[in-house]
Structure 1
Amino acid sequence: MKHRDPRGHWILLLLGGLVLGVALLLNGAARGELGESPGRVAADSGVEPPASVTGGGPVVNLADGPMRSARPKPRTIALTFDDGPDPRWTPQLLDVLARHHARATFFVVGAQVAQHPGLARRLAREGHEIGNHTYTHIDMSTSPDWRIRLELDLTQRALAGTVGVKTRLMRMPYTSTPGGLTGPQWTAAQRAGRHGYLVALTDRDTEDWARPSADEIVRRAVTSARPGEGAVVMLHDSGGDRAATVAAVDRILTTLSAEGYRFTTLSESVGLPYSSVRASTAERMVGTALVFAQRASGWLIAGLATLFGLAGLLTLTRLGMLLSLARVHVRRVRAKENVPDPDPPRVSVVVPAYNEEMSIEATVRSILDSDHRAPIEVIVVDDGSTDDTARIVAGLDLPGLRLLRKTNGGKPSALNAGIARARADIIVLVDGDTVFQRDTVRTLVAPLTDPTVGAVSGNTKVANRGGLLGRWQHIEYVIGFNLDRRMFDVLECMPTIPGAIGAFRRESLASVGGVSDDTLAEDTDLTMAICRAGWRVVYEENALAWTEAPSSLRQLWRQRYRWCYGTLQAMWKHRGSIREGGRSGRFGRRCLTYLTLFQVALPLFAPAMDLFTLYGLLFLDPWWFAGSWAAFVGLQTLAGAYALRLDGEPVRPLWALPIQQVIYRQLMYLVVIQSLVTAVLGARLRWHTIRRTGTFTPDGRSVPARPSA
C-alpha cells in the first residue's frame, strides 16, 4: 500500500494554533473588568502635580509649549461618559440626549468600539464628541510608557476603522478632578501629553460607577459652589448597571436647562476646536483589520463557550452511560456464575506474526500452557518475517504447535491463511505480542456455547505499565476500552474485538467472508461485519490477555493513528447498517451513533473545552474554572476507581490520572484530528508496527499476577 501520509497540514495546524492563541489573548486582554477600581496601586513616583494643575481647569494641554488648562464657559455643561460604548446603556443615554437636543462627550474604550462599531458610528453621526479612554481600560499610572502608547494607539485604530476619525482628546481611567491627581497619574498624563493628547479630567464626579441612587447622581452633578459656573460632569455608560445613570441624566438635562444652562461637547465648552480629525486611508484600513480581529475573537470565544458546554454535556452523558450499563453488565455476569460449564470445545488458535522474535515464544508457550480441557492447536502464521520469528517457533517443537510460512501480505491475509488451516470450529485469534493466563482460553470460549453468539472479546491488559506512559495506557485500557465493552455487550453493538484476544465461531467467520483488508483496523471491520450478519458479540471480562503497549510517544502515536484511521474507515464502510432492520440495524444505530458522538465529535469538541478552561483561568473567573476542572477530574477518578474495582485492579495508578488529562488526552485528540484530516484528504496509510522491547520472558513469566476478582 503506497504511503501518502499528508505532512503540510501540520504547518497549517501550527499556524492555526498561533492565530487562535493571538485571538484568545486579544479577546482576553479586551475583557478586563471595567469600572473605577484599579487592579494595583501605583508606587510613589516622588513627583507631585504642580499647583497650577491641581488648582486649574479640567482640560490640560501638555502637548506643545508650557502647560495650560482650561475651564468650561459660564452656564455651559459638558456631560462626559466613560467606559463605553455599551450595547445596553449607551443607546438609552443617546435617546435621552436626543430628546433634549443635547450633545455630550464619550470617552470610549477601544475594545468596546471594536466590539460594537455601530454604536461608535452612531455617536459620531449624532454629533457627539469622542475621546480616547485606552483600549482595555488600563491604569495608566501603573503602566510603562510602551503600554500606554500601545493602548492609546489601538483605540485610535479602532476609531479609524469604525468612524474614520482620530481624536486628540483622552481621559485616563481611574482619574477624577484635577485636585485628586496623584504623582504617578501626573507622570502618566505627561506621557500622554508627549504623544499629542489633551488630558481631560472633571469638575464634578458623580461616582455613578459605585451605583448610587439617581437622586444622589443628580445632586452631585448639579451642586455648584458658584452659581452659573460651567462644569465638566463625569458619568459612565458601561461597566455595570447604569439604569440610575440614565434616569439621572434625564433629570439633569431637565433641571439645568430650565436654569439657562446649555449642554455641549467638552472641546466646545472650553472654546477649543473639535478634537477629531479625519483618519487617512491607510489608518482606516489598519483600523478595519483590528476591528475585524477583535470581533472575530469575540465570535471565537462565543463558539468556544458553546463547544465547552457541548463537550461537557457529552462527557457527562458518556460517563453516565458507561457507569450505569457497567452495573447492568455486572448483574448479568453474576447471574451466570452458578451455571455449570458445558463440555469444552476443541479450539484452534491462530497467531499472525511479523517480526515478533522478542515475544513469540512467550505467546505460544502461554497459550499451550492452558487449563482448557479439550485439545488446543496453535497455528503461527509467519507473514514473511525478516527476523528470527520463524526459526524460534520451529525450534520449540511443542505438541499442538504448527508453523505456517507465507510471503508478506499483511495481517488480514495471515489471519485468513491460519483460519483456512485450522481444524476446530472454535477459532481464537491472538496477536504475536500477547500472553495468556492459564484459564484464558477456557473462559474466552465459554460464551460460544450459546448458539446465537458468534464471537467473544477478551479483556486486554497492559503488561508494561511501570512508567508514566504505561500507567496512562493501563488506565485507558481499563477505564476506556473495558467499560466501553461492558456497555456494548449490554446494548449488543460491540464494534471491536481486539486483535490481542478474540474467539470466533467458524460459521460466523465464514458468513462474512473471513478477515477483510479493506481497512487498517481489520479487527473492527471484522467485528462490525459479524454484528451486521446477525450474530451476537459479547465481552468476557475474565478472559485476560497481557499485551505489550507502546513504550514511547512516537510508537504510541503511530499505533493510535492507525487504530483511529482504521476505525473511521470501518465506520464509513458499515454506515449502511443504520438504514437496515433487525440486528444489523440495531447495531448500526446504536454503535455508529455512539462512535460518531463520543469517539469522533467529542475529541473534536474537547480541545475547545480545554482551551476555554485555560482562557477562563487567565481572563474570567479562575476559581470557577479551576473548580469545574477539578470536578471533572474528580468524576473521572471515581469512574476510574469503579472500573479498576470491576477489573480487580488496585486503584494506585489513579494518581497519574490528572496528569493524563493534561498531556495524554491532548495527544489522543490530535490523533483523531490527524486521522480525520487524512481521511478528508483521501490519503492512504501503510501498515504500522510498534517496536517490541521484550516485556515478556520466553515462558511468559513476566506477566503480572492475575487481578483478584
Structure 2
Amino acid sequence: MGEWEMALVSVVIPAHDEAASIGRTLRALRQGTRADELDVVVVCNGCTDDTAAAAQVADPRARIIEIEEPSKAEAVRIGNRATDVFPRVHLDADIELRGTDVLALVEPTMSDGVLATAPRREVPTSGCSRWVRWYYEVWEELPQVQSGLFGRGVVALSREAQARVTALPRLMSDDLAMSDSFSPGERRVVTSAVAVVHPPRTVRDLVRRRIRIATGNAQAAQHGVRRSSSRTRVRTLLRLAVTRPGLALRLPVYLAISVAGHIGARRAVRSGDFTTWQRDDSSRLPVDTRTAAGRSS
C-alpha cells in the first residue's frame, strides 16, 4: 500500500502554466497538517513553463503528474484516477487554502451528511484599481455568491458527491456546475475555513475573467445544469441599492463590467467555443508588481 493511501483527504490540483503561483498554493496547503494527512496530486496540463519543477520544490511529498493536453477537465479526470482517497478537495492552482482549513472543510462531509462544501472566500483587493474594488464590493454581497460553492476555487466532495460530479458533462464553469449539482441542504459553506482568492488587479483582466465566466455560464445553461437561483437578477441589484445604499454608486461599475463580459462572450457562445480560456495574469503577479499594475489602471 502506498503512503498516500493512508491519507485522510485527497487534494487534486489542475495546473496550467502556474509556476508563479503553485508554490504559494502548496506551501499554504501544508500549514497545520501532518505530512501524511493529505494526498496532494498536482496535474500539470500542457504547461510551457516550469510548473512541475516549482511544485516539486514547494512540496516534495506531492505527487506531480504531467500531461500534454492543456485541459483543466482532463487534468481533473487524471487527478481523480490517481487517488482513491475521500473526502476529496478540488483546488485551483492559484488559490491559497491552509491545511487546517482543508480539515475543517471536509469534516461536515464525514459527520453531518453533507455531500459538498466550500470555504468562506477572502478576496484581497489591495493593489486593485478602484473599479475592480467597486465591482467586488457589489459581487460579494450577491445572495447566490454568498451561498453558492462557486467562485471560491475550492470544492470538497464526499465519495457520493464525486460520483455525481463525475457524471456531469465537461463544462468550462466546472465550479458552478458542481455547486448547482447539489441542493441547498446537500451543500454547505464552511465559514471557519478560508480560501484566499486573488482577484484580477486591472479592469482589462477582470473583463477577461468575466468573459470566461459568462461563456461558461451559457454552456452550463445549455446543458441544463444551471439553477435559476445562481443567476443575478435586476431585482436583486435593486434590493441591494435599497438595503445597502453605500453600494449604489458601485452598481453602475458592476453592471458595466458584467455587460462587457456578456458582450465579449457572445462570439464564443455563438461558435460553440467553450475551450478558449480567457486568463487573467495580474492576479498571479508578485504582490509589489500587482500593486503597481493596479495603480496604473
The TM-score range, normalised by the shorter chain, is 0.7 to 0.9
Q: Deviations over 1:448-468 (max 9, x none)?
A: 124632211222221343332
Counterpart of 1:538 in structure 2 is 188
The one-letter amino acid paired with 1:525 is A
1:407 is aligned to 2:68? yes
State the secondary structure of the residue aligned to 1:479: coil
1:524 corresponds to: 176
Q: How does 1:408-427 map to 2 (within 5 A)?
A: 408-427=69-88
CA separation of 1:439 and 1:473: change in aligned 2, threshold 3 A: farther
CA shift in 2, pair 1:429/1:561, >3 Å? same
Residues 19 and 54 of structure 2 are in contact (CA less than 8 Å); yes or no, is this contact kept in structure 1? yes
2:280 is aligned, of 690, 697, 707, to: 690
Identical aligned residues as a percent:
21
Kindly indicate whether residue 84 of structure 2 is the aligned counterpart of residue 432 of structure 1.
no
Q: Is the 8 A contact 1:359 1:696 kept in 2?
A: no
Contact kept, 8 Å, 1:460 with 1:501, in 2: the verdict is: no
- What is the TM-score of this pair, normalised by structure 1? 0.36
Once the two structures are superposed, residues 614-658 of structure 1 have per-residue CA deviations (whole angstroms, 9 ceiling, x without a partner) of: xxxxxxxxxxxxxxxxx9746224xxxxxxxxxxxxxxxx6xx45
The answer on 1:505 being equivalent to 2:164 is no
**CA-to-partner distance for each residue in 1:458-479, whole Å, 9 max, x for gaps?**
2222134333245235424531
- CA–CA distance in 2 between the matches of 1:672 and 1:662? 15
SS at match of 2:12: strand
Residues 542 and 450 of structure 1: CA distance in aligned 2, closer, same or farther (over 3 Å): same
Letter of the 1:684 partner, please give it: D
Match for 1:560: what amino acid?
A: R
More RCO (CA 8 Å, sep 6+): 2
Deviation (angstroms), 1:388: 1.5
2:25 match: 363
One-letter amino acid matched to 2:251? Q
> Is structure 2 residue 212 aligned with structure 1 residue 562?
yes
CA contact (8 A) 1:354 1:384 kept: yes
8 A Cα contact 2:9 2:89, kept in partner:
yes
Give the aligned partner of residue 457 of structure 1: 118
Unaligned ranges ≥5, structure 1: 1-344, 489-493, 576-587, 610-630, 638-653, 698-709
Backbone CA RMSD of aligned residues: 3.3
In 1: Cα distance, 2:287 partner to 2:103 partner? 22
The alpha-carbon distance between structure 1 residues 573 and 501, as it changes in their structure 2 partners (threshold 3 A), is same
Q: Tell me the CA shift for residue 558 of structure 1.
A: 1.4
Unaligned runs of 5+ residues in structure 2 are 1-6, 289-297
Q: Does 1:636 align with 2:244?
A: yes
Larger radius of gyration: 1
Q: Does 1:380 align with 2:42?
A: yes
Asked if structure 2 preserves the Cα contact closer than 8 Å seen for 1:445 and 1:503, the reply is yes
Does 2:202 correspond to 1:549? no
Q: Which amino acid aligns with 1:358?
A: A
Provide closer, same or farther for how the CA distance between residues 408 and 476 of structure 1 changes in structure 2, counting only shifts above 3 A: farther
Give, in angstroms, the shift of residue 672 of structure 1.
3.3
Give yes or no for contact 2:200–2:280 (8 Å, CA) kept in 1: yes
Q: What is the rounded CA distance, in whole Å, between the counterparts of 1:346 and 1:407 in structure 2? A: 30
Give the whole-Å Cα distance in 1 for the aligned partners of 2:248 and 2:138.
13
1:443–1:540 CA contact under 8 A, matched in 2: yes
- Normalising by structure 2, report the TM-score: 0.80
Task: Name the CA distance, whole Å, in 2 between partners of 1:476 and 1:388.
Answer: 37
Cα–Cα, structure 1 residues 572 and 436, in superposed 2: closer, same or farther, change >3 Å?
Answer: same
- The amino acid of 1:520's aligned partner reads M
The one-character-per-residue Cα deviations of 1:376-403 (angstroms, maximum 9, x if unpaired) are 121111002101211111233533x111
Equivalent residue for 2:234? Answer: 602
Which residue of structure 2 lines up, in the alignment, with residue 475 of structure 1? 137
Amino acid at match of 2:144: D
Q: CA deviation at 1:524?
A: 1.7
Note if contact 1:349-1:378 (Cα within 8 Å) is conserved in structure 2. yes
* Number of the residue aligned with 1:52: none
Structure 1 residue identity aligned to 2:202? S
2: CA distance, partners of 1:374 / 1:537: 27
Q: CA deviation at 1:535?
A: 8.2
Q: 1:416 to 1:570 in 2, by over 3 A?
A: same
In terms of fraction of residues, the more helix-rich structure is 1
Aligned ranges for residues 169-568 of structure 1 at < 5 Å? Answer: 346-371=8-33, 375-399=37-61, 401-437=62-98, 439-450=100-111, 452-467=113-128, 468-480=130-142, 483-484=143-144, 488=147, 494=148, 496-498=149-151, 500-513=153-166, 516-517=169-170, 519-528=171-180, 530-531=181-182, 536-568=186-218
